[in-house]
């Protein structure tokens, strides 16, 4: 699970996590062997071992806000072998005193711990090898079938992932493909003005974003566009980044 560190909010979170060990109060009470795996604009992810069951989990820490609660709500509804499993969440007081002397709350999200290698790493490894096309196709097909199965589950719950890309697709300890990072998830049924406005702000990753996602309201169909790009990357060896940087523009009918 990887993130792009690009926001002031993320820098603030990093500072508070580093300066204030009390942020991990409950985490330290129930977990040990805590190790930071990733950090970025949507939070920090830690590998931690539950002291009682002696098993490792991924614990994501984000600022407590409505967007973070949407991610938890989505994950709690999605029980599928190709989606990162959600276990539970809880709130913590950071006890970090800001200039306004108020305490910032953090949301902790406990999830399935996946392998360090993402689908992006898998693609990079294949591109560095010389494989017959038939072998690469044979290896890519079951991966893509699992991704599609996971996306079907997401859409069956009237949800839109909005950020499907190889770095957000991982491999579980059981070897199965796992779709993760639901930080940008949205509902198809929520059509209030606030939600509509949010969907027009180019939410997602530009190189995998559907044309409709850039300029207009949309539904779950925008998750289909990156599926095609991902499958192409699975099948075809691309040696240079600019080869995947261009895509057709949406034209008016």
- Residue 206 carries which DSSP code? G
> Is 93 noted as a catalytic residue in this protein?
no
Handedness of CA 229, 233, 235, 241 (dihedral sign): positive
Largest Cα–Cα separation, the chain: 62
What one-character-per-residue DSSP string does 36-76 give?
Answer: EEEEETTEEEEEEEETTT--EEEEEEEE-SHHHHHHHHHHH
CA distances from residue 190 to 45, 159, 172, 196, 223 in whole angstroms, order as listed: 28, 10, 31, 8, 17
3-class DSSP state of 214: helix
> How far from the centroid of its chain's Cα atoms is residue 103's Cα?
27
- Residue 31 carries which DSSP code? E
Say how far apart CA 163 and CA 129 lie, in whole Å.
Answer: 28
Instruction: Find the catalytic residue in 32, 163, 190, 223.
Output: 163
What one-character-per-residue DSSP string does 116-172 give?
Answer: S-BHHHHHHHHHTS---HHHHHHHHHHHHHHHHHHHHHHHHTTEE-----GGGEEE-
Q: Would you please indicate which residues are annotated as catalytic (active-site) residues?
A: 163
């Amino acid at each position: 699970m990887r993130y792009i560190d690009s926001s002031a909010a993320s820098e603030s979170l990093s500072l508070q996590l580093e300066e204030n060990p009390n942020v991990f109060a409950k985490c330290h009470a129930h977990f040990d062997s805590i190790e930071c795996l990733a950090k970025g604009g949507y939070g920090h992810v830690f590998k931690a071992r539950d002291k009682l069951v002696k098993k490792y989990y991924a614990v994501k820490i984000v600022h407590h806000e409505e967007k973070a609660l949407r991610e938890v709500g989505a994950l709690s509804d999605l029980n599928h072998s190709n989606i990162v499993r959600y276990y539970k969440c809880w709130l913590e007081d950071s006890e970090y005193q800001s200039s306004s002397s108020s305490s910032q709350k953090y949301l902790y999200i406990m999830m399935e711990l996946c392998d360090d290698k993402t689908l992006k790493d898998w693609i990079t490894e294949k591109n560095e090898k010389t494989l017959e096309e038939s072998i690469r196709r044979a290896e890519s097909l079951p991966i893509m079938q699992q991704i599609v199965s996971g996306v079907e589950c997401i859409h069956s719950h009237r949800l839109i992932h909005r950020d499907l890309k190889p770095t957000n697709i991982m491999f579980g300890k059981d070897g199965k493909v796992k779709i993760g990072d639901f930080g940008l998830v949205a509902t198809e049924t929520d059509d209030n003005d606030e939600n509509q406005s949010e969907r027009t702000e180019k939410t997602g990753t530009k190189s995998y974003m559907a044309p409709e996602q850039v300029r207009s309201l949309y539904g779950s169909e925008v998750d289909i566009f990156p599926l095609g790009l991902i499958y192409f990357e699975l099948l075809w060896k691309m040696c240079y980044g600019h080869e995947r940087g261009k895509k057709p523009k949406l034209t008016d009918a």
